[in-house]
Amino acid sequence: MADKVILVCTECLSRNYVTPKNKKTNTKRLEIRKYCPKCGKHTLHKETK
């Protein structure tokens, strides 16, 4: 049931990560602090449509 979602950096808007997400248990959008190689620091990454 896990679908692939794309995570986008909130500062530079680059699409850095692809991660699985179970849409039955997690109905809200995913928000994770991850390292952005373009920014060079840890930033908040959000799930896109």
**Positive or negative, the Cα torsion across 34, 26, 13, 11?**
negative
The residue behind tokens 């530079």 is 12
Whichever domain contains 20, its CATH number is 2.20.28.120
Question: For residue 49, what pLDDT band results from cuts at 50, 70 and 90?
Answer: confident
Distance (Å, whole) CA 18 – CA 33: 14
**Structure tokens given for 9:** 């950096």
Overall domain count for the chain: 1
Report the predicted TM-score, pTM, of the whole model to 2 decimal places: 0.84
pLDDT of 1 > 80? The answer is no
Tell me the residue range of the domain where 8 lies.
2-47
